[in-house]
Every structure is written in C-alpha cells, then in structure tokens.
C-alpha cells in the first residue's frame, strides 16, 4: 500500500507517493525560495499565495508520474493509497492551511483517512527512506532553518524533547551570518557560507565563542555567535574565509558535543539527523567522527531529502499512523515535538 504525503509548512510545496514508509515512488516539489531571497527573508503572505498556486500542479505531477512508474491507471493508483499524510505544523499558518485543506479535500473525494504529521519528526523520518535496520532508542537531532532540537525517540511514536535552541535556529544563524558577511540572505546563506568556509586554508586558531558548549543541558544559543561575527567582521582583522570557517566550526563544535552527550545520557543505539543544515558536509563529517568507535550508528539523509519535502512526511505518517477526524484536523503553526 502507498501513502500520499503532502508538505506545505513554509515555502516548499511537495507531494510524494511512498510505499510501506520506505520506498519512494515519486516526489514532486516546487519552491518559492527565490522570491524570498529577493526580500532577504520569507514573506508569509507571498509564501502562502505560492502554496495555493503550486499545490495542484505538484499533486498532478506526483500522481501522473507515479502512474507512469507503476504502469497503472489513476483509479487503480488511488485504490492502493491507504492514507494521506499531511504536515500539521509547525510552520507558517497561511502555508500550512493550504496543505491541510488539500488533504481534507482528497480525504473526502477518495474516502481515505488523514494522518497529521509533525514536520520536525518528519525531518528525522527522511532516514527511514534510505537506511535499513535503524535501532531504538535513538536520539534525533533536527537542525533546520526554523529549528534546532534534540529528541529522545524510544520507539516510533514515543518522543521526548531533550532540548533546543533558546533563540535563533541553527540554519537561521547561518543565513543571518551570511548576510552580515555580504554573501547572501535567506536559505542560500547556509550553502554559500559553507562554500566560503571551504576556501579557508592555513593555520587555524579559533576566535569566535562556542555558546553553551559546557552548559549542563541540551539547549543551544546561536544569537550571540551571530553578533560576535558582526564585531569580528567589522574589526577587519581576519579574512572572510577565516570568519566563515570559524563560524561553521563553532556551530559544529556545539552541535557535535551536545549530540554526543544526549546519546550517552540516553544510552541511545542510533542518532538520526535531519533538517536543511545537514546538507553541510563538514557537519556530517564531524558527526561521523564523533561517533566512530562508539558502537552508535549515525544516520543522515541524502542531501536531496534534507530540505523540506513530502517524502519524509509520508514516511513519518506510515510509522506514526495516528489518524485524525476531519473535524479535529487543523494546522498548528506552533506545534512542538511532543504534541500530536
Ligand atoms: O529544513 P529546511 O529546508 O527548512 C526548514 O524547515 O526550516 O532548512 C533550510 C536551512 C536554511 O537555513 C539553510 O541555510 C540551511 O538549511 N542550509 C545549510 C546548508 N544547506 C542548507 N546550512 C549550512 N550549510 C549548508 N550547506
Ligand atoms: Zn523543515
């Protein structure tokens, strides 16, 4: 059986057909990211309007391509869809409502139940699309443009929040720092900053702070680091490449240490990583290194599944199959890890 996933929490509109939570039949995706790049940040009203514009073509593409791939008729395809999984939150209300209403409409038209999915948990389930044998308990770490969270996953559906950022999300700090350094703003900031960091060569002595590195909890803070970059850049004592490298390294140091402590404290067998910042290859390498020889398995999704997409929403729906009545289903922009 297949699950149709729908994701519309921010500026990506995506629909995917997934078999048994693990096999991607097809995923379609459209983004209004370019528009927000021009304004230096997401404009919720613009993102919502683009969701409305994109949703039906993206749905149509997913269904049509899936039919071709499976060599079947539309009726037969729909017959084999067991559920519709949709992002319930967190996210932008105007964007979320488009996906949720689409899911409700398909639910009525096709007589299928809807599974609401927490977008943050969804990011972690990108791993189930590409990795086999993931063992619980696991620590989940979401590092995205809007979130930085550590979660204990005792089993599918059994999640405990361990800690998270007290101010800026990790990706947000990358994007704002990138803007300070004149590279870019919004979502291209992270990739451009990490590219600049790669250009740094020579001896390395850290200068920037590692906020909350030694705090006795699983919380993070990236706002002070961002400000420290601003002052360092203004002093003109270090190259752009050095500052980019030192900023990235500071983030990596904190994420890696807290992830390791969370795994030790919870006796986790695996660590599941997810979110757009996981596209950062230096971060991946540091996390791999940190757990080498510990017996803990490190899982991260391929780069194409790190950003927002509907494939992981369908996978999360498969493994967390809590159906909702249509009356009870509404978007929750402030949904937390432990809410349904
Ligand atoms: O998960 P995502 O698509 O959006 C949210 O759900 O929030 O993540 C987008 C974030 C952006 O902040 C972007 O700058 C960051 O992921 N990002 C990166 C890299 N690629 C994307 N951050 C650091 N290094 C990268 N290579
Ligand atoms: Zn996301």
Ligand 1-lining residues (CB < 6 angstroms): 144-146, 171-172, 174-175, 187, 189-191, 194, 275-277, 279-280, 307-308
- 320 φ/ψ angles, rounded to the nearest 5 degrees: -130, 65
Rounded to 10°, the helix 240-266/189-198 angle is 110
pLDDT at residue 33, rounded to an integer: 85
pLDDT value at 71 more than 90: yes
Nearest CA, atom 23, ligand 1: 190
Q: Which of 276, 282, 301, 337 to mutate to test the pocket of ligand 1 (most atoms within 8 A of CB)?
A: 276
Write out the H or E segment, with its range, that includes residue 288.
helix 281-291
Report the pLDDT averaged over residues 223-236: 96
Closest residue by CA, ligand 1 atom 3? 307
In which residue are the tokens 């683009």 written? 50
Mean pLDDT of 171-194: 90
Confirm whether pTM is higher than 0.75.
Answer: yes
Alpha carbon distance 292, 338 (integer Å): 30
- Write the pLDDT tens digit of every residue in 39-69: 777 889 999 999 999 999 999 999 999 999 9
- Among protein residues, the one whose CA lies closest to atom 7 of ligand 1: 145
CA–CA separation, 63 and 58 (whole Å): 9
Which protein residues have a CB closer than 5 Å to ligand 2 (ion)? 144, 308
For 159, what's the count of Cα atoms within 13 Å in the CB-facing half-sphere?
24
DSSP-derived secondary structure for 174-230: HHHHHHHTTS--GGGHHHHHHHHHHT--S-----S--TTTT-SSS-B--HHHHHHHH
CA 123 – ligand 1 centroid, Å: 12
């Amino acid at each position: 059986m297949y699950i149709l996933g729908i994701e519309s929490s921010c500026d990506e509109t995506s629909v995917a057909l997934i078999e048994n939570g693990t096999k991607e039949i097809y995923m379609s995706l459209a983004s209004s990211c370019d528009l927000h790049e021009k304004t230096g940040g997401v404009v919720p009203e613009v993102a919502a309007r683009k969701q409305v514009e994109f949703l039906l073509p993206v749905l149509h593409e997913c269904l049509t391509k899936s039919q071709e791939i499976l060599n079947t008729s539309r009726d037969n395809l729909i017959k084999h869809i067991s559920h519709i999984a949709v992002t319930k939150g967190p996210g932008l209300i105007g964007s979320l409502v488009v996906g949720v209403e689409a899911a409700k409409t398909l639910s009525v038209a096709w007589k299928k139940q809807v599974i609401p999915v927490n977008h943050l948990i969804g990011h972690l389930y990108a791993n189930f699309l590409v990795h086999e044998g993931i063992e619980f308990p696991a620590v989940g770490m979401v590092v995205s443009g809007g979130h930085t969270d550590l979660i204990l996953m005792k089993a599918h559906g059994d999640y405990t929040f361990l800690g998270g950022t007290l101010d800026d999300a990790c990706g947000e700090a990358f994007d704002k720092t990138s803007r300070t350094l004149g590279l870019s703003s919004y979502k291209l900031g992270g990739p451009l900053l990490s590219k600049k960091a790669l250009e740094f060569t020579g001896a390395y002595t850290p200068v920037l702070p590692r906020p909350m590195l030694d705090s006795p909890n699983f919380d993070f803070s990236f706002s002070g680091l961002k400000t420290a970059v601003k002052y360092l850049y203004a002093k003109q004592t270090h190259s752009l490449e050095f500052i980019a490298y030192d900023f990235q390294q500071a983030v990596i140091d904190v994420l890696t240490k807290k992830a390791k402590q969370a795994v030790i404290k919870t006796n986790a067998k695996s660590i599941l990583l997810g979110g757009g910042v996981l596209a950062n290859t230096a971060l991946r390498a540091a996390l791999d290194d940190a757990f080498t020889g510990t017996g803990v398995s490190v899982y991260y999704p391929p780069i194409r599944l790190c950003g927002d997409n509907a494939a992981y929403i369908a996978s999360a729906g498969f493994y967390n199959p809590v159906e909702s009545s249509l009356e009870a289903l509404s978007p929750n922009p402030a949904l937390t890890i432990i809410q349904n």
